[in-house]
Amino acid sequence: MSELELPEDHPRYQSLLTRHRIEQGVENGITSKQGLIAEGRGEAFDYLLGERTIETAALAERAGAARLLLADQPVLSVNGNVAALVASEIVALAEAVDADLEVNLFNRTPERMEAIAAHLREHGAEEVKGLTADGRIPNLSHERAKVDAEGIAAADVVLVPLEDGDRAEALGEMGKTEIVIDLNPLSRSAQVAAIPIVDNIIRAVPNMTEHALELQTADDPTLQDIVDAFDPKAALTAAEAAIRDGELD
């Protein structure tokens, strides 16, 4: 079935669309098999959240957009699931906040790196970083540590969606400000983030772009106020409560 044939009035349309994109990602050599498992984990959390952007996630998305606009050198990290799910949307966010895109894989192979970079270019990206791999994240084994010296290694703020906990921790230790998109509020990635966004990436990224476009002309103190008003611990607690106690329709 193609994306266009998915019935939009299906009560679980969003989840069908997500699965379809991930399946296609695997077929096209963009997403790894482990990516399918990560998708399943995410879907379970999203189901319990009611497949909606909860209030604290909306605040996190606005704070994340403001933080990216304030950054000197922001980078949006892209893995196989991100590329399969939100290629054109992440390109639009990069444009809105003037950030670099860097392909950054847990299971790094040259073929998958190239396939993801090509996929992003097909969706409008002009420059895609990650292929040079002349920088390293300290305290990680060789393949998992590779980044671009001019990209993530030099960034002050990094958006790391659907990231493995070890790497999120290591990036934090490098002094990066991390904005994490992860549907599991208990994952280490979400826990170490300055701004954890507990929402499905297919909703989170377009929401962040909308905020960024609206905030593009705001001055730095206004942006800083939005960032300072966001409380990561409270947001994680609220997301966990929504998942544990939420009423399903």
Phi, psi of 133 (to 5 degrees): 55, 45
The contact set with ligand ATP (CB under 6 A) reads 38-39, 41-42, 45, 85, 162, 164-165, 181-184, 187-189, 200-201
When the beta carbons of 70 and 90 are compared against ligand ATP, the nearer one is 90
Return the beta strands (E) in the chain as ranges: 74-78, 100-103, 128-129, 135-136, 146-147, 157-161, 177-181, 195-197
- Minimum distance, C-beta of residue 166 to ligand ATP, in the bound complex (Å): 6
- Minimum distance, C-beta of residue 83 to ligand ATP, in the bound complex (Å): 12
- Minimum distance, C-beta of residue 188 to ligand ATP, in the bound complex (Å): 4
When the beta carbons of 207 and 223 are compared against ligand ATP, the nearer one is 207
CB 28 within 8 A of CB 214: no
- Minimum distance, C-beta of residue 86 to ligand ATP, in the bound complex (Å): 9
When the beta carbons of 177 and 187 are compared against ligand ATP, the nearer one is 187
> Which among 35, 49, 123, 125 is positioned nearest to 80, based on CA atoms?
35
- Minimum distance, C-beta of residue 164 to ligand ATP, in the bound complex (Å): 5
- Minimum distance, C-beta of residue 134 to ligand ATP, in the bound complex (Å): 25
Residues 6+ apart with CB under 8 A from 186: 240
Alpha-carbon distances of 170 from 85, 93, 147, rounded to whole Å: 25, 25, 12
Strand-strand pairing, 195-197 and 128-129: unpaired
When the beta carbons of 168 and 215 are compared against ligand ATP, the nearer one is 168
> End-to-end distance of the chain based on CA atoms, in angstroms?
28
When the beta carbons of 146 and 188 are compared against ligand ATP, the nearer one is 188
Residue type (1 letter), 190: A
Strand-strand pairing, 135-136 and 146-147: antiparallel
When the beta carbons of 18 and 177 are compared against ligand ATP, the nearer one is 18
* Helix-, strand-, coil-residue percentages of the chain, each rounded to 5: 55, 10, 30
Q: Residue number with the shortest CB distance to ligand ATP? A: 42
